[in-house]
Amino acid sequence: MDPTQLLHIAPVACVIFAVTVAVSFIAFSSDWVYENFILHPASVYHGKNLHTLITSGFIHADLMHLFFNMFSFYFFAFTLEGILGHWQFGLLYGLSLVLSDLPTVVRYKDSYNYRSLGASGAISAVIFSYILFDPLAGMGFVFLPGIDIPAVIFGALYLYYCSYASKRQLGNINHDAHLFGAISGIMITIVMRPHVAVDFVHQITLKVQSLLH
């Protein structure tokens, strides 16, 4: 899609994308930005640096981290803003940045060496909001090109893996942010568009019936 069209259809997503990329690149060469933007759960739990619940979502660990998050954002955010509306999309993204990190704050409130960064929580919210509107859309895995599965199945597998990985603290990844970002996206979308839950079930029911017949 032409950049001018994107700006017209999804101005909020365009701004978020541009700001996230710009701030992340600045942070790559600025220790001050990392120090003041990164989420430190122990500090937030004790009422300090509350702004980092939001600012931590605009910085990334490295280029690969930034690429994967913005790659996912690109494929879902611009379409979702067209469905939800401009301010509604902005509200979904902003609230999810905060809500996806709150469980991390509680879980790591006594871990003074723990830090977290990245937009993964809010992007999970965007993806799962999109899944509610189009549960049968084909979705695939970056590491398995050419293999698509229905979005609802992808979502279920994603939630299971995030829950599993969170309990076992696999890797240097904040799986809680992914999990609770997804849950936040679902809840916020249903609050803003109550009919989406009924439509979601209806689409899946029709698909199952067609397969059975």
Contact by Cβ (8 Å): 134, 199:
no
Q: Whole-angstrom Cα distance, residue 134 to residue 123?
A: 16
Q: Give the pLDDT of residue 170.
A: 74
Q: Whole-angstrom Cα distance, residue 189 to residue 196?
A: 8
Q: Give the pLDDT of residue 47.
A: 95
The phi, psi pair for 136, rounded to 5°, reads -100, 5
Q: Give the pLDDT of residue 86.
A: 96
Domain encompassing residue 43: 3-212
DSSP single-letter state for residue 169: T
Rounded to two decimals, the pTM is 0.93
DSSP single-letter state for residue 144: E
Question: Which CATH number characterizes residue 87's domain?
Answer: 1.20.1540.10
pLDDT, tens digit (0-9, with 9 covering 90-100), for 37-89: 999 999 999 999 999 999 999 999 999 999 999 999 999 999 999 999 999 99
Count the domains in the chain. 1
Say which amino acid occupies 55.
T
> How many other CB atoms are found less than 10 A from the CB of residue 113?
7
